[in-house]
Structures are given as C-alpha cells and as structure tokens.
Amino acid sequence: MIVLIDYGVGNLYSVEKAAASVGGDVKISSEAEDIRRAEKIILPGVGAFGDCMKNLEATGLIPTIKAEIFAGKPILGICVGMQILFAGSEESPCVDGLKIFGGQVKKILAGDLKIPHMGWNSVSMRNAQGAMRNLFKGIKNDSYFYFVHSYHALPDDKKIIAATTNYGEEVTAAIEFENIFATQFHPEKSGDVGLHVLKNFVEL
C-alpha cells in the first residue's frame, strides 16, 4: 500500500488516480497508523512553503513521517512536498522545513522570464545516486515535464540532485538519495513521462 498523505494541500485525487493507473495501491490518509503500515509514502504540496508546513504541523504527523523516512521507507515528494524536505525557504523565512536535507529553497532568478515558472520544460537527468536506474529509469534525457513554481531547492549536498531544468538559471527539478525521491515538476500533470516516473516509484 502507498499512502498519499492528506494534510489539506496538493492535488490529492489527480495524484491518486495517476499512481493507481500505473499499478499503485494508493490510499489517501492523514492517519499516523496508515503511514506506519504503508510500504511507500507520497508527500504532495501546493501553495506557499509556510502554509504547507503549518498544515502539516497541525496534523501531528511530522514525527511519524520523519521516523518512517529515517527507517528507510521510500517517499516521493511532489512540488512543495519536495521543498519542505529542506531546512527552510526564503518564501517563508521564519518557518522551518522538515530538515531531512540541508539547504534552502530560493526564488528562481528568472531574469526577464515570467514568474511563476509555469508550463512544460525539458529536464536534464543526472546519474546522482543511480537516478537513471530509479526515478528516471527508461525515460529519455531532456524529456518534458510540467512545472508550476516560483522557488526551487538548493541542496547543500549537490550529489542528491537527480535532474535539473533551465529557467533563467539552472533549477533543481528532482532529487534522489537512498529511499528519498522528490520532483519539483508535477508527474501527475506530465503525461506519459510523468506516469513513467510514478510507475518507477511504485515499482521500487
């Protein structure tokens, strides 16, 4: 069973439908016991960093989520669900993230390009921590994925960056480290290649 964590943010039903379509046994839940029983976890997120953390804290699930991550359970963060894995964000300067990784979430230095970065963009994959064997297995490099965001994560450890895109500057598009996977793009909105990413996670 894969638990899609419900903390009041994220495209829960579109993510559930997409993951189920590639073979995932998905349950939307805000119960700690379900998270403990799950084989894998998906952590969605839409909106502001601070609001996501406030909602997540209100559920009381943070200790359970962190315990399961540190115990080695696979987790997939999506969009702001990826950003909150880091220490903090300049979008919400007084709010701590989950601090799974060191590093900050910064506003994209997009130059003359519009913010938010919204729409399809090509993704360059790295072989970080075997990313080409895991999250992006079987996906052609420079495939296009769908983004909606103004901020991106800048990890202290650059080795966890599994993929990047370019939007005025190099932007972190995905991370991967051991049992932890996350995408800044929305796989559930990214057509066949997005479904392939979800399938790879489901089949880990």
> pLDDT tens digits for 31-80?
999 999 999 999 999 999 999 999 999 999 999 999 999 999 999 999 99
Mean pLDDT of 139-157: 97
pLDDT band at 10 (very low <50, low <70, confident <90, very high): confident
Mean pLDDT of 88-98: 96
Catalytic positions: 79, 186, 188
How far apart CA 192 and CA 187 sit, in angstroms, is 9
Q: Pick the closest to residue 62 from 103, 30, 27 (CA basis).
A: 30
pLDDT band at 93 (very low <50, low <70, confident <90, very high): very high
Residue pair 69/38 in contact (Cβ under 8 Å)? The answer is: no
pLDDT digits (tens, 9 = 90+) for 71-85: 999 999 999 999 999
Q: Tally the C-alpha atoms within 13 A of residue 122's C-alpha that lie toward its C-beta.
A: 5
**φ, ψ at 75 (rounded to 5°):** -135, 145
Return the number of other C-beta atoms located less than 10 Å from residue 132's C-beta. 17
pLDDT number for residue 129 = 54
Mean pLDDT of 142-157: 97
Domains of the chain: 2-202 (3.40.50.880)
Q: Which amino acid is at 128?
A: A
pLDDT number for residue 199 = 97
> Is the bond preceding residue 44 a cis peptide, omega within 30 degrees?
no
pLDDT digits (tens, 9 = 90+) for 97-115: 999 999 999 999 999 999 9
Contacts of 143 (CB under 8 A, 6+ apart): 122, 123, 193
E strands present in 14-134 = 26-29, 40-43, 75-78, 88-89, 92-96, 103-107, 117-125
Residue pair 98/84 in contact (Cβ under 8 Å)? The answer is: yes
Confidence (pTM) = 0.95
